[in-house]
């Protein structure tokens, strides 16, 4: 315990902490209150700070008007897909890089690592083009080689071969491009490097295959790291904005975070802020719950990432 | 590069294990990045029928475009303000929370959850708070200070609104890191200074703050990356770059010019500029981390 007593400073500490917590919490508190009011109360100036009794009505109105049920399912599939995909891909990748010696090991690691410098925001259009037609590059090769004419000659009449496979408006399109992660691979690599050498030696001595070692020893040891990443990546996946915005045009495939915009009252409409806030609360609830209930792992994972 | 002393000698398995990651990386990261760089040297008609190689014309046009220069300035002001507000508040709250040892976890729980909220939703919450006709903050400012607050029409107000929405979301992230950094500082150091009669304030500036510099650096980099890129959701949901381009930060302009305006050459050149920027930040970050390792070990 500290050697000195500083009652004034302690008082100041508690006071500022409480003020800080209130200020940080205020936007949410305000949204919660607004979500319980009727249209009449929410548009009163200034809005009443006493909660009303319209919460359930507003929630169901937001749910129906914003097609939230459908969008929440999309968000959930996307977030879990990204989480699961990222962790599996990174676990295998890190296992390959740390526990095997092969020619392209360093190249592979560098290639994965450099994706840190290519967030989706700096390659918006070409990534979209790629997702719009996964076979685009193949088609390019096809055209350059003039294979169309070869095929036409072979078939004896004109044939236009076009290779197309689109990821637009699909779950695969929402998930796949976001499953490669330098940070996750890096984290697992760092962790694997701290695992005692004896474990692998013992496993080899007992005649375990690499995959047996992976499933029976490495995976159980990685449990806390995986738990931490599940929290971080679920929040990351749920809150994605730019990529789902690009890749979905069909309203049925939109995610909840993007769909929420349609609940915002425009200047010509009624000021339905109570509905908008009810919608915002529904959409933010899943990641907030995950973070609050898994706070310990979440903080551990966040701070580990720095190293 | 590091490898285990005892490793497996299976031939094809390691390739198979890394294959998914390499495939995704090549398809969705490298190929698009290369395509982006190539099309930044080209101009094409809006229908994409013809393309012409024009060397650096797109870049020259870009840096002569007053709108682009304005966007650079907007981005700098925006990320500067977000970094200042969120780092100052995060550090302040963390050092306060670090003083109340028994309640640290509780404080953390009460401060952590804005991290979980999507930037776009944070934007929507602040739009409501600051809305000229319905927002409580806006009405308060009007009634008590006589400020005619309108983020929907006034440039500076709009900027402040997106700064608040981004900084608010980032405070909790920065708080978590500062708190972890503060808790890693040996208590004996602080106590020794206390015995020597250094005041709590002095101890903070001469001991805690310098020891916190690696965390400070990391948090600054992350906040800048956030405000450059992830704030896209806030801008798109709340201001759409307006009013009058006053919140049109670089990443939003790439989207607007390329995806909405279909000006592929210019948009690609803007992407490449951003790419260069993030490469620079990453390299700096790792240089610094390396130095830190040398100093401590």
Instruction: Please write the tens of the pLDDT for every residue from A14-58.
Output: 899 999 999 999 999 999 999 998 888 888 777 778 888 888 988
d(CA B98, CA B106): 12
Instruction: Give the nearest partner residue to B118 out of A176, A179, A241, using CB atoms.
Output: A241
Tokens of B133: 């006709």
Interval B129-156 mean pLDDT? 83
To the nearest whole Å, the CA of A166 is away from the closest chain B CA by: 13
Model pLDDT for residues A150-204, shown as the tens digit of each residue = 777 776 666 666 667 788 888 988 999 888 888 889 889 988 988 888 888 888 8
B170 touches chain A (CB under 8 A): no
Q: What pLDDT, on the 0 to 100 scale, is given for residue B167?
A: 95
- A2–B120 C-beta distance less than 8 A: no
* B7 interaction partners in chain A (CB closer than 8 Å): 98-101, 200
- Are B21 and A185 a contacting pair at CB < 8 A? yes
Measured between CB atoms, does B268 come within 8 Å of chain A? yes
- Dump pLDDT digits (tens) for A221-258: 999 889 888 988 999 999 999 999 989 988 889 999 99
Round to whole Å and give the CA distance between B55 and A236.
Answer: 38
Q: Does B6 touch chain A (CB under 8 A)?
A: yes
Give the integer Cα–Cα distance in Å for B228 and B107: 29
Confidence of residue B54 (pLDDT cuts 50, 70, 90): confident
Report yes or no: B52 at the A interface, CB cutoff 8 Å: no
| pLDDT (mean) for B138-161 | 85
Facing residue for A13 by CB, picked from B25, B99, B258: B99
Q: What is the pLDDT of residue B291?
A: 56
Q: Which of B124, B266, B279 to mutate to test the interface with A (most CBs of A within 10 A)?
A: B124
Decide if B176 and A299 are in contact by the 8 Å CB cutoff: yes
Which residues of chain B are within 8 Å of residue A206 when distances are taken between CB atoms? none
**ipTM score for this prediction:** 0.87
pLDDT at B4 over 80: no
- Answer yes or no: are the C-beta atoms of B12 and A103 closer than 8 Å: no
pLDDT (average), residues A205-234: 90
- Cβ contact B120–A261 (<8 Å): yes
User: Mean of the per-residue pLDDT values for chain A?
Assistant: 86
pLDDT tens track for B205-264: 888 888 888 888 889 988 998 899 889 999 999 998 878 889 999 999 999 988 888 888
d(CA A180, CA B26): 10
Residues belonging to chain B? 297
Predicted confidence at residue B51, as pLDDT, reads 77
Q: If you average pLDDT over residues A136-144, what whole number do you get?
A: 72
The pLDDT-based confidence of B47 (bands split at 50, 70, 90) is: low
Among positive and negative, which fits the CA dihedral A126, A131, A137, A140? negative
Stretch among A162-166, A215-219, B39-43, B174-178 having the lowest mean pLDDT: A162-166
Q: Do A302 and B176 touch (CB under 8 A)?
A: yes
More confident residue, B87 or A10: B87
Torsion region of A51: left, alpha or beta (phi above 0 gives left; psi -120 to 50 gives alpha) = beta
Q: Is A221 on the interface with B (CB under 8 A)?
A: no
In angstroms, what CA-CA distances link B243 with B137, B154, B246? 20, 7, 6
Domains assigned to chain A: 20-306 (1.10.3720.10)
Inter-chain residue contact B233 with A239, CB threshold 8 Å:
yes
Separation of alpha carbons A255 and A74, rounded Å:
6
State both tokens at B8. Answer: 């497996």
DSSP letters, B169-219, are: HHHHHHHHHHHHHHHHS-HHHHHHHHHTT--HHHHIIIIIHHHTHHHHHHH
Give the pLDDT confidence score for residue B296 in this predicted structure: 38
Coil vs helix vs strand at A161: coil
- Tell me phi and psi for residue B136, to 5 degrees: -65, -35
pLDDT band at residue B118 under the 50/70/90 scheme: very high
Distance CA B52, CA B41 (A): 8
Binning pLDDT at 50, 70 and 90, where does residue B125 land? very high
Q: Does the beta carbon of A37 lie under 8 angstroms from any beta carbon of chain B?
A: no
B122 vs A281: CA distance, rounded Å: 11
CA gyration radius for chain B? Answer: 24
Cα–Cα distance measured from residue B226 to residue B281, given in angstroms and rounded to the nearest whole number: 12
Report the half-sphere exposure of A298 (CA within 13 A, side-chain side): 25
Contacts of B131 (CB under 8 A, 6+ apart): A273, B138, B151, B152
* Contact between A256 and A74 (Cβ < 8 Å): yes
List of domains in chain B:
16-53 (no CATH), 66-296 (1.10.3720.10)
The verdict on A166 touching B (C-beta cutoff 8 Å) is no
Residues 69-108 of B with CB under 8 A from A: 89, 92-93, 96-97, 99-100, 107-108
* Distance between B52 CA and the closest CA of chain A, angstroms: 17
- Best of A117, A178, A214, A286 to disrupt the B interface (most B CBs within 10 Å) is A117
DSSP A265: P
Residue A20 dihedral angles phi and psi, to the nearest 5°: -60, -45
Please judge whether A93 and B121 are an interchain contact, meaning their C-beta atoms are less than 8 angstroms apart. no
- Say how far apart CA B296 and CA B203 lie, in whole Å: 21
Q: What is the pTM of this model?
A: 0.88
Check B96 against A16: CB less than 8 A apart.
Answer: yes
pLDDT band at B2 (very low <50, low <70, confident <90, very high): low
Specify whether the CB–CB gap between B134 and A42 falls below 8 A.
yes
Average model confidence (pLDDT) across chain B: 86
């Amino acid at each position: 315990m500290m050697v000195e007593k500083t009652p004034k400073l302690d008082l100041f500490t508690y006071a500022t902490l409480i003020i800080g917590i209130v200020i940080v919490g205020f936007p949410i508190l305000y949204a919660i209150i607004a979500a319980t009011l009727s249209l009449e109360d929410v548009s009163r100036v200034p809005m009443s700070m006493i909660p009303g009794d319209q919460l359930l009505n507003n929630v169901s109105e937001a749910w129906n008007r914003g097609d939230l049920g459908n969008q929440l399912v999309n968000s959930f599939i996307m977030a879990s897909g990204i989480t699961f995909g990222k962790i599996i891909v990174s676990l295998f990748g890190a296992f390959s890089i740390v526990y095997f010696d092969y020619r392209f090991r360093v190249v592979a690691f560098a290639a994965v690592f450099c994706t840190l410098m290519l967030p989706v925001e700096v390659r918006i259009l070409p990534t979209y083009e790629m997702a719009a037609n996964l076979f685009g590059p193949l088609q390019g090769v096809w055209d350059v080689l003039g294979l169309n004419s070869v095929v036409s000659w072979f078939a004896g009449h004109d044939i236009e071969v076009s290779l197309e496979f689109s990821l637009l408006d699909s779950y695969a399109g929402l998930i796949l491009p976001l499953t490669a992660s330098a940070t996750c691979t890096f984290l697992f690599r760092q962790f694997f490097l701290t695992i005692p050498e004896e474990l692998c030696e013992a496993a080899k001595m007992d005649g375990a295959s690499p995959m047996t070692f992976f499933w029976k020893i490495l995976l159980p040891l990685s449990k806390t790291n995986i738990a931490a990443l599940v929290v971080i990546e679920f929040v990351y996946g749920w809150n994605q904005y730019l990529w789902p915005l690009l890749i979905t045009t069909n309203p049925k495939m939109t995610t909840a975070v993007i769909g929420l915009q349609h609940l915002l009252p425009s200047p010509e409409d009624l000021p339905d802020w109570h509905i908008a806030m009810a919608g915002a609360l529904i959409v933010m609830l899943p990641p907030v719950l995950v973070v609050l209930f898994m706070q310990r792992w979440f903080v551990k994972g966040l701070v580990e990432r720095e190293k | 590069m590091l490898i285990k002393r005892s490793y497996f000698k299976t031939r094809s398995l390691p390739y198979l294990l890394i294959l998914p990651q390499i495939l995704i990386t090549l398809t969705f990261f490298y190929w698009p990045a290369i395509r982006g760089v190539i099309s930044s040297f080209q101009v094409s008609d809006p229908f994409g029928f013809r393309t012409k190689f024009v060397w650096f014309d797109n870049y020259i046009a870009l840096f002569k475009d007053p709108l682009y220069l304005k966007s650079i300035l907007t981005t700098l002001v925006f990320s500067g303000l977000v970094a200042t507000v969120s780092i100052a508040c995060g550090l302040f709250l963390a050092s306060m929370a670090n003083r109340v040892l028994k309640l640290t976890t509780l404080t953390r729980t009460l401060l952590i959850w804005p991290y979980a909220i999507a930037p776009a939703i944070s934007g929507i919450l602040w739009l409501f708070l600051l809305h000229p006709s319905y927002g409580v903050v806006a009405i308060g400012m009007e009634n008590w200070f006589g400020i005619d607050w309108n983020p929907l029409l006034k440039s500076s107000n709009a900027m402040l609104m997106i700064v608040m929405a981004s900084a608010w979301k980032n405070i909790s992230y920065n708080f978590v890191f500062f708190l972890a950094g503060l808790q890693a500082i040996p208590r004996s150091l602080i106590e020794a200074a206390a015995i020597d009669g250094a005041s709590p304030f002095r101890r903070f500036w001469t001991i805690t703050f310098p020891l916190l510099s690696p965390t400070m650096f990391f948090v600054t980099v992350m906040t800048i990356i956030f405000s450059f890129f992830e704030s896209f959701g806030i801008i798109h949901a709340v201001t759409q770059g307006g009013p009058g381009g006053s919140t049109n930060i670089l990443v939003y302009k790439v989207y607007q010019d390329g995806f909405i305006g279909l000006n592929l050459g210019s948009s690609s050149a803007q992407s490449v500029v951003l790419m260069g920027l993030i490469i620079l930040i990453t390299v700096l970050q790792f240089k610094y981390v390396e130095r830190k390792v040398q100093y401590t070990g």
